[in-house]
Every structure is written in C-alpha cells, then in structure tokens.
A and B are shown apart, each in its own frame.
Chain A
C-alpha cells in the first residue's frame, strides 16, 4: 500500500471508529427514504420526520467528519502530523462518498431491481447524480471546512437561514409571482445559484483552506456564495424571465408569436363588502397579505388570453402574467394583484388554448385610474415549445425504453381509475412531455410541468416523471402517444385591454390594438 493510501485508510478507520453510530444511521437512511418504504408510510408526520432526520443526520455527519480534523483550527492534532493536506481532503471525501453516496446508490439499485426495473434502468437510477443533493453536500462540506467546531458551523447555517427569511420579507418581493416563475419552468433558475455555486466553489474553498490555510478568504468566498444564492429570492420574476430569454436564442417563432384577449365571458367583476370580506372564491385566489394590501371595496376581475401566431404543433406556455393601470402615455399608475391560484399553473393545463388570470385592484387605484382615463395593460411571459420527439407506448404494464423519453411503463388500474404513465430519464430531458390516447386530439392530452433547465445542467442527473390520463370509455387495450417538447423562445407580450376591467361585453375579442372603452363595476 502506498504512503498516501495507507494514510487515507488510517484516517477513515479513525473517523469510523469515532463516528460509526452516526454513519450507520446515514447508511440506513436511504432505505427509509426509498419509495417502497415511503409509500407504506401513510402518516405524513412520520414521513416528514423521516426525511428531516435523514437530512439532519447527513449534514451532521458531514460536519462531524470534517471537524474530526478541522483545518480552520489552530489546535488540531493533525496539523503537525505527517499528513499531506490534500490527502486529508481526499480521506474526508472518500469517507463521505463511502458512507453517504455509495450505500445510497447500492440501495437505489437493489430497490429498482426489486421494483421490477431492468438492470439497465436500475444502473441508471443508481448512478444518477442529483445536483441538488450534490450541491447541498458540498455546501455543508464548505461550511464545515471553514469552521472548526460544530457550534460555529451550526451558527453559520442558522445565520444563513435567518438571512434567507429576512430576504423574503424585503418589501417588493411578490410571493405569487415568485411562485409562478418556479412553477412555470424557471425553477432551475431560481435554485441554480443555491445548487451550482457550492459545486463551483467547493474546490477553491478546499484549496484555500487546506492548501493555503487562508481561512479568512475561504470564509469570504462561502459568505459571498450564500449572498449570491439569495439573489433569486430578491429578483423580480420578470427579471428572471429576462434571464431565461437571454439563455434561449430566439427563433422565428419567437418573433411571430403573440397573445390576444380571448372572447368569452369577459370581464367578470366582483365587489367587496364594506368589511373587506370577499367571496370564498376570492379568498382562495389571493393570499391574505394581498387582500389586506388592497383594503376594503377592492375589485376582482378576470382576463382570458390565447396565444396567436404559434406554429402548428408547437405549444405556448404562459409563464406568468402581470396587470397594470397605465395612463394615456403608457406610464404605470398602479400594479394589480395577481391571483396565485392561476399564476401557479397546475399540471395538465394546456395554455395553447387559453389562460385565465384573476386580478385584484384596490378601490383607490381603480378610482384614480378612472380619473386619469387610464387603461388596463396586461403583460404575459410566454414560452414557445417545439415538438422534438414522438413515442408510443402500449397500456400493458410492460416497462420499456423509448428514445427521447427514457424508461416508461403504464400502470393499469383495476378499479378503472386514471391510467398513469411512469417514466424515468437520465441526462438531457425534454422541457415538456405530453401524453394522449393515440388517435385522440391534443385537447385531451395531459402534460408534465414545464422545465427549461439547460441540457448542460442535466448531464449526470436523472429524474422520474409521471403523467396521468383519464381512462378511455372503450375497453380495448389502447396505446398512449407521448410528445416531447423543447423551449425555442421565451417572449414577453403586452396587451392593452379595453376599459379598466377588460371590456364592455363577453362577446368580442380584444387584441393589443383594441380600443379602451371603460366599464363601471
């Protein structure tokens, strides 16, 4: 055994001798977290506790194993022992890989086989790297590396959590829209700094801390990364959408596509009572703080929009919408509160047809807008998706690999409930997958939640996805057609609606060039 390998083995043996109870818990936790066990845990509290303990124990183990030979310390025994510093780093990483990663992989492999997956799929599932998990592990490693005691590390983590909470309380942070960008495919962008910064800074921090013993600089980098990770929390969703646009070069479709106010029952107007209470529906649509911010006698109404100029077969997903009262020169007068229930798009809604949004305007804003002969401006953030792959799967329960979709199977429910399509894909995944019964129109399809993560960030990761289709009336054994889509453009479109609340009647379609006839509630 070479010198370094012998030293690594000695350090790991020593750490195991000290930390084996915690290591044993962490090794066994993947079993508890596995789908098989979780599906049998009907109690949500037990489930949450299991996951909580799992995360806590893993974090504790990481901190403990790094602090066994703390580098930020001035007193640790190992600092004056014949241990090359990179050998120490390697020993700690090998320990963590052996205790945290390898058992999880092995258990995932075994559980996948036990669940009837093929060896190929089981290997793919077991070797898929969750970037979020990797980022979290490396973040804790970095925290542990620049601290010398558990108290210091916990203190730093608590400070970070408080900072995150405080950041969310900053005026101007708009929760419903923030949620919208998460749900509308930009989730990766919101979490990218938190996930990828630890991956990026881990090596430099370890190099500075172990190789150069520059604790202050290493701590500054960790603190800076924490601050940057909080940026998406403070960034307005419109700005996030701009980043998405920058990352996706616009295609011709991006230039021709637009939106138009759709015909139909439009607008609807609701008025609050004197006490500030509004109907149960409105209560569900807006958060308490939104309702509180508009005060009594607020006005609720809806707008419906449909995409235009979208190439055949493409999809237009409305990420989120904003509504304003603007004056004749286009100057913003008031911003309206969007309802979270619609801004947060539920799975399976086809935005290619239309999307309805609900708005809440304070009485003061409304009256002020009236005085200034203002109009309603609606702004939509639209993603255009092109179909890139087509696949078909028989509803026979058989697991099979479908190019472009990964390993898929349909679950046959004897109780005549909906049929679910369960897939797992490693590496680059489509931004959106839809499913419909072969031969049926697109109107009856269901879809996954859009995810515009760049392909480069999906290389080593794998993820399951599930689609549910209502069962066909006929008893034949049908087939399901899957379609994969990729985002080709993210565009922002504005529509000036007629009147302050959208228009005088339910019969006309109003486009962005429409007039501005007002309407009294």
Chain B
C-alpha cells in the first residue's frame, strides 16, 4: 500500500473532524475519496501530507509515518488543493523556476509540455490568474517532477466544464504511473479513471472498495407496486437506501446487489406484489449522490 491509515483521528475544539479513519490506497490506484463538504476529506488529506498532526491513530505514506514526511518523501509526492496559497506576486515563469530548483528530479520537457498544454501565460503573476488557471498551474507544478503519489484535494471544484476537462485530461494523461488520491464531492469527471472509491461522512469512513465492487453492488431499483400495498416505512432491508414510494411506484438504491432474482424476492417480501421491476446499474456520481442524500436524511431524522 502506498498509503495506509489506522484509526486516524483529528478533533478541533471538541468537534471530531476525522474519526477513526482506516484506509488503504494501493500503489497505482486512482483512489476517489468522496463525501459532502465538511465530511472530513480535507482534514484527512492534510494529515496524510503532514500539514496537520493526527490526534490519534497513524498514517503511513510512501512507507513513512506521515508525521515524519521529509524532503525525500516530498520529492515523490505531489499535493494540490483548491485553496492552496501560492506566492501570488511571482509570475508563472518565476514560480516554475523556483520549483525547478527544489526538485533534482524535475522534468523540464514535461514542464514545458504541461505549460503549453494548459496554455499558462509565463509572464502573468499567479495572483492575477483565474481560478482555473491557478489550478492548472498548481497541477503542472505537482506533475512536473513525476511524483509517485499525487494527492489532490477538490482539484476540480469551481472549474467550468471546459477547464475541468482540460485539467482532468492533463492529469490523467501524465499520471499514468502515478498513484492518485483525489477527494471530491463531484465524481462524474473521474468516473472512468477511478479504480477505488471511499466514502466519508461526518468524519467517518463508511466504506472503501474497488470501483468495480462498488459498481457491482449498487443498483437503482424502480418497481411498479399495487396501490393496496402496505406502508414501506418499517421493516425494509438495511441495504436499501432512499426507499420511496409515490402512488404505484417504488424506488430505492440497493447497496448489496447480488442478482435480479434476489431483488425481486426482496421486493415481494418487503413491498408486496410488484409489477414491472427495473434494476439499473449506477454511475459513481449517482452512487455518491444517493449516499450523500441518504446521510443527509439520516442526519435530519
């Protein structure tokens, strides 16, 4: 594992920002850490890169305790955050000249390629770049030394679709041999690239799995039910999320899908007689959205 945490916890003024998070990121993975704003994703990533010190638990990053990350590890680790503070008065050229002298492993042709790909204006101060341009500059600065591990904290947040595609394309194009840990509350962009997914809510890690497993066990179920079917409020399987019945249509998200027959059996058992049953695979984005909605409903109850 290139990242491995055990019981990682952080408390801010009695508020458990991160609570007993144990996650494992395999080498070569594109690992998506998903959760709503305030779920604890940023705090977790900051602990991984030693910006914050965990109150309890531990994290090993690149084989080293995160609290002991030093120059040797940072030569192999890139970090980009949407709210990163850059030396705003430096021009793009000055910034990259500065970065170059920090990394013996800096790949200058790659830097040139990334700057050209992202169309970054060399002579413009970083502080005068648009949000999208800044993200591109940060990404180029994090990719140009070919890191083994790239940790991205909401890198696509606030970007317009075109820029988002450009950033993502640049990232995925260059990061073939790189393990990527990306936090996001919006997954559609990395749908095709993510190999693993973890979901956080209120500081806790609810699950982490390979994307294929996640995809295989989540299904959106729509069934036609009889008008005389009973109330669905109680006695539903724990694996069903967001169960909802309006008139003669029943909808839910099955989080432990095995087979269509199993779904049908459960529907008959818990909802009553059913007519047409539609069992549809879900995208990661849909899965994430339904999980977030379910957590929100749980909180409100």
Contact = CB atoms under 8 A, between A and B. Distances in A.
Interface in B121-166: 138
Nearest to B43: A74
Given A82-B71, A84-B70, A84-B71, A76 B85 contact: yes
Contact of A18 (B89, B101, B102, B104): B89
A493 interface: no
A152 to B, nearest CB: 13
A75 B82 CA distance: 9
Interface in B15-53: 46, 49-53
Q: Which of A7, A10, A18, A81 has the most CB of B within 10 A?
A: A81
Contact of B84 (A6, A17, A70, A75): A75
A73 B94 contact: no
Binding site secondary structure of chain A: helix
B193 interface: no
A421 B294 CA distance: 87
A17 B126 CA distance: 13
A94 to B, nearest CB: 15
A14 B90 contact: yes
A272 to B, nearest CB: 59
A83 B101 contact: no
Contacts of A81: 74, 99, 102
A74 B51 contact: yes
Contact of B51 (A14, A18, A80): A80
A213 B51 CA distance: 8
Contacts of B71: 3, 82-84
A464 B84 CA distance: 50
A79 interface: yes
B83 interface: yes
A77 B77 contact: no
Nearest to B98: A14
A481 interface: no
B98 A80 contact: no
B81 interface: yes
Contacts of A75: 81, 83-85
Contacts of A79: 49-51
Interface in B82-113: 83-87, 89-90, 94, 98-99, 101-104
A18 B71 CA distance: 25
B75 interface: yes
B79 interface: yes
A80 B49 CA distance: 7
Interface string B67-80: 00011101101110
Contact of B101 (A7, A68, A84): A7
B102 A10 contact: yes
A68 B46 contact: no
Contacts of A82: 71-72, 74-75, 102-103
Contacts of B83: 75
A13 interface: yes
A75 B84 CA distance: 5
B89 to A, nearest CB: 4
Interface in A1-53: 3, 6-7, 9-11, 13-14, 17-18
A10 to B, nearest CB: 4
Indicate the size class of the contact surface on chain A. Answer: 20 to 34
Contacts of A74: 46, 51-52
A77 B75 contact: no
Contacts of A9: 101
B288 to A, nearest CB: 26
A17 B46 contact: no
Contacts of B79: 80
Nearest to B46: A74
B102 A7 contact: yes
B94 A17 contact: yes
Q: Which of B53, B72, B98, B103 has the most CB of A within 10 A?
A: B98
Contact of A14 (B72, B81, B85, B87): B87
Nearest to B105: A82
A407 to B, nearest CB: 45
A70 B94 CA distance: 19
B131 to A, nearest CB: 15
Interface in A64-116: 68, 70, 73-77, 79-84
Contact of B85 (A6, A11, A18, A73): A73
Given A7-B101, A17-B94, A75-B83, A80 B89 contact: no
B87 A18 contact: yes
Contacts of A213: 50, 53
Contacts of B99: 81
Contact of A77 (B50, B72, B87): B87
Given A74-B52, A80-B51, A80-B77, A10 B84 contact: no
A83 B102 contact: yes
A10 B101 contact: yes
A7 B138 CA distance: 19
A77 B139 CA distance: 12
Nearest to B85: A75
A3 B72 CA distance: 12
B101 A6 contact: yes
B74 A68 contact: no
Nearest to A18: B89
B51 A13 contact: no
A83 B83 CA distance: 20
A448 to B, nearest CB: 49
B152 to A, nearest CB: 12
Q: Which of A14, A18, A73 has the most CB of B within 10 A?
A: A14
A77 B94 contact: no
Contact of B94 (A3, A6, A11, A14): A14
A79 B84 CA distance: 10
Nearest to A85: B70
Contacts of B49: 79-80
A13 B85 contact: no
Contacts of B72: 82
A64 to B, nearest CB: 10
Contacts of B101: 6-7, 9-10
Contacts of A84: 70-71
A77 B104 CA distance: 18
A313 B101 CA distance: 67
B168 to A, nearest CB: 21
Given A10-B101, A14-B87, A80-B49, 15 more contacts: A7-B102, A68-B87, A73-B85, A74-B51, A75-B81, A75-B85, A76-B84, A77-B84, A77-B87, A79-B50, A80-B78, A80-B79, A81-B99, A83-B102, A213-B53
For the complex of A and B, the 10 pairs showing the least CB-CB separation, nearest first, are: A10-B101, A80-B79, A82-B74, A82-B71, A18-B89, A75-B85, A14-B98, A82-B75, A76-B85, A80-B49
11 contacts: A7-B101, A14-B90, A17-B94, A74-B46, A77-B84, A80-B49, A80-B77, A80-B78, A83-B74, A84-B70, A84-B71
